[in-house]
Chain A
Amino acid sequence: MHLKPVLTRAHRSQVVILLLAAAVLVGYGCGGSKEPAKVAEEQPAAEGPVWKPTGEEGTVTGKVNFKGQAPKLKAIQMDADAACAAKHKSAVFPETVVVNSNGSLRNVFVHVKTGLEGKTFAVSEQAVVLDQVGCMYTPHVLGIQARQNLKVVSSDNTTHNVHPLPKVNREWNVSQPPGADPIIRAFSRPEVSIPVKCNQHAWMRAYIHVVGHPFYSVTGEDGAFKLEGLPPGDYEIEAVHEEYGAVTQKVTVAAKASVSQDFTYSAGQAYHPSSLKTMPALVLPCCGGH
């Protein structure tokens, strides 16, 4: 009996074309490109002409104080990965709460929350760098403008996995082996407090704050911040800390004036953003003696 072929000649040629197309796509995908690619994200339309300084701008300065006893943190066990341990000679502590010797709080992001509505600001051409040094994100907290490039590099001899967890921007998750090209990305929308984790080293954490203007600052070893070049007006200034949450203050900036506005956090106000309801794990009943 003559069996009808499953694939006719026309079908066969279609299959061959499809296979060739798949091979080309796979080759393109795996070949990689020498130039780090910037992923095009949906860009919000510009709202108006780009704002230009008039010479009347003012400044907001201040300090972020901390009251009370700083929580005692356990040292990071870097020997979870020998390549991380090799980069450190002494104990390394988490940067979740760092209180400076002058009683101020480090790693607080301070920015203009409201008061700049309707204004459009030029996006800096310079990329903001996030490095991975000794299995720690450096800096721990950074500010960036929406659509400004973020350049993630690694100084470590181990594979990292950079994984920001935004809520309104697009999430991404990219492995970075030793010697790999920098990862260059941008966030298209303003979003404060984007945690960045490393899927490989669970203790690694950075916070990226994306804003729609260049008026932001991150407190360092002296706990001070400075927002320069602000157009005169009424503003709401917000300080954001990963453990102690957000605090806002209202300020009025007069022409060519400098305003001072401090913030204060206290040890008792740590917050837990998740109110997850959980069940205890079931212990298997089968196993006598356990």
Chain B
Amino acid sequence: MTALILAAFLWIMSIISTWIFLRRVWWPPEVISTHGAAVDQQFVLTLIIAGAAFFFAQLGLGYIIWRFRGRGTERASFWHESHKLEFTWTLVTAIVFVGLAVKGNLIWASYVVAGAPPDALTIEVTAQQFAWNIRYPGPDGRFGRTDPRLINDAATNFLGLDPKDPAGEDDITTQNILAVPVNRPVRIILRTKDVTHSFFVPHLRVKQDAVPGLAIPIHFTATKTGEYEVACAELCGMQHYKMRSRLLIMQEQEYQNWLKQRASM
């Protein structure tokens, strides 16, 4: 009886789990970036392979438990040291998973390792406990010098901008509001002032750790206007859950107007 309950549990559990994925009960939000579709394809392919292995392994396990339960009439046979069988399943598994890893890394590298297009707009994002500082280079296209000794949060100089550097005079800074134009490549230079954070925009399929001491470039092209969420995906302290920014994706003209309005603040 116990064996039947266990077998039934395995079957029901695997059917419900598979149904949850097939019905897309928990699924990533709509994709709004040029590279996002490839990320989703990779996700679905991985899910199909791993999901099929999980589903059939659980069904088989349930069957074995039911078939050879303690009735005393039939004995399961087993054997050791079948080199051919072990070699085959190790090789097949290795090919499948190394193949998945290579394919996935190529997609990741396309927006992290590969350089951004030359016409990309550069924006600096600096994380801190518990906010996102966004900096635009202004009309001169150059970021002003920063110095950690000049950081003064109380005077709103969150990045330590050096007032003596003329390149920084037109820099535009915001906190928790990241505006980008639609259909234009955007290069993000990712930094952090304190601990490790992670820049995560679920709709863009972009997730990258911000690591102290590093300026990490990533790039994306958004394909749909609207307001989306930037979350911190690395537990960074007590208020981690409140560390979020709005991502505003706008038409080019609207974006230019927004920049002007911010510059005048």
Contact of A276 among B117, B149, B153 (CB under 8 A): B149
- Residue among A91, A97, A281 having the largest count of chain B Cβ atoms under 10 Å: A281
Contact of A278 among B131, B149, B173, B265 (CB under 8 A): B149
Among listed B18-26, B96-104, B107-115, interface-contacting one = B107-115
A79-B154 CB under 8 A given contacts A202-B131, A286-B113, A290-B217: no
Give the interface SS of chain B, mostly helix, strand, loop or mixed: mixed
Contact B214 A281 (CB under 8 A): yes
A161-B148 CB under 8 A given contacts A74-B156, A80-B176, A80-B177: no
- Chain B residues lying within 8 Å of A286, measured Cβ to Cβ, are 113
Mask for A76-89, Cβ within 8 A of B = 1, else 0?
11011100000000
Which residues of A from 240 to 290 have beta carbons under 8 Å from B?
Answer: 242, 272, 274-276, 278-279, 281-284, 286-290
Contact A287 B177 (CB under 8 A): no
For B177, the closest partner residue in chain A by CB is: A79
A157 within 8 A of B: no
Contact B191 A281 (CB under 8 A): yes
Which residues of B from 102 to 159 have beta carbons under 8 Å from A?
Answer: 112-118, 128-131, 147-150, 152-158
Among listed B63-71, B74-82, B237-245, interface-contacting one = B237-245
Contact A199 B154 (CB under 8 A): no
Contact A80 B116 (CB under 8 A): no
- Chain A residues lying within 8 Å of B148, measured Cβ to Cβ, are 276, 278
Contact B265 A77 (CB under 8 A): yes
- Chain B residues lying within 8 Å of A147, measured Cβ to Cβ, are none
Contact A284 B149 (CB under 8 A): no
- Chain A residues lying within 8 Å of B149, measured Cβ to Cβ, are 272, 274-276, 278
Contact B153 A290 (CB under 8 A): no
Contact A96 B131 (CB under 8 A): no
Cα separation A94 to B191 with both chains bound (whole Å): 25
For A282, the closest partner residue in chain B by CB is: B214
A75 within 8 A of B: yes
Contact of A203 among B153, B177, B217, B265 (CB under 8 A): B153
Contact of A77 among B115, B153, B175, B216 (CB under 8 A): B175
Cα separation A79 to B242 with both chains bound (whole Å): 15
Contact A96 B130 (CB under 8 A): no
- Chain A residues lying within 8 Å of B118, measured Cβ to Cβ, are 289
For B147, the closest partner residue in chain A by CB is: A278
Contact A200 B130 (CB under 8 A): yes
Contact of B154 among A75, A96, A175, A279 (CB under 8 A): A96
Cα separation A205 to B213 with both chains bound (whole Å): 26
- Chain B residues lying within 8 Å of A281, measured Cβ to Cβ, are 191, 213-215
Cα separation A204 to B100 with both chains bound (whole Å): 48
How distant is A53 from chain B, measured CB to nearest CB, in Å? 38
For B217, the closest partner residue in chain A by CB is: A290
- Chain B residues lying within 8 Å of A288, measured Cβ to Cβ, are 114-115
Contact A284 B214 (CB under 8 A): yes
- Chain B residues lying within 8 Å of A173, measured Cβ to Cβ, are 238
Contact B156 A76 (CB under 8 A): yes
Number of interface residues of A (CB under 8 A): 41
A96-B215 CB under 8 A given contacts A200-B242, A290-B116: no
For A195, the closest partner residue in chain B by CB is: B154
B42 within 8 A of A: no
Contact A77 B156 (CB under 8 A): yes
How distant is A279 from chain B, measured CB to nearest CB, in Å? 7
How distant is B127 from chain A, measured CB to nearest CB, in Å? 12
A73-B191 CB under 8 A given contacts A199-B130, A281-B213, A284-B216: no
Cα separation A284 to B155 with both chains bound (whole Å): 31
Contact A80 B175 (CB under 8 A): yes
- Chain B residues lying within 8 Å of A185, measured Cβ to Cβ, are none
Contact A205 B154 (CB under 8 A): yes
Cα separation A197 to B130 with both chains bound (whole Å): 12
Contact of A199 among B114, B129, B213 (CB under 8 A): B129
Mask for A28-67, Cβ within 8 A of B = 1, else 0?
0000000000000000000000000000000000000000
Cα separation A289 to B111 with both chains bound (whole Å): 12
A120 within 8 A of B: no
A169 within 8 A of B: no
- Chain B residues lying within 8 Å of A195, measured Cβ to Cβ, are 154
A159 within 8 A of B: yes
B35 within 8 A of A: no
Contact A287 B112 (CB under 8 A): yes
Cα separation A224 to B238 with both chains bound (whole Å): 40
Q: Which residues of B contact A (CB under 8 A)?
A: 112-118, 128-131, 147-150, 152-158, 173-177, 187, 189, 191, 213-217, 237-239, 242, 265
Beyond the given pairs A278-B149, A287-B113, A289-B116, 12 more chain A to chain B contacts, judged by CB atoms under 8 angstroms and listed by A's residue number, are A74-B265, A77-B177, A80-B174, A159-B242, A161-B238, A173-B238, A203-B154, A204-B154, A272-B149, A283-B217, A287-B114, A290-B217
- What are some 18 contacts across the A-B interface (CB < 8 A)? A73-B156, A77-B156, A80-B177, A81-B176, A94-B155, A161-B239, A173-B238, A199-B129, A200-B130, A200-B239, A202-B153, A281-B214, A282-B215, A284-B216, A287-B114, A288-B115, A289-B115, A289-B117
4 closest pairs, A vs B, by CB?
Answer: A289-B115, A205-B154, A80-B175, A290-B217
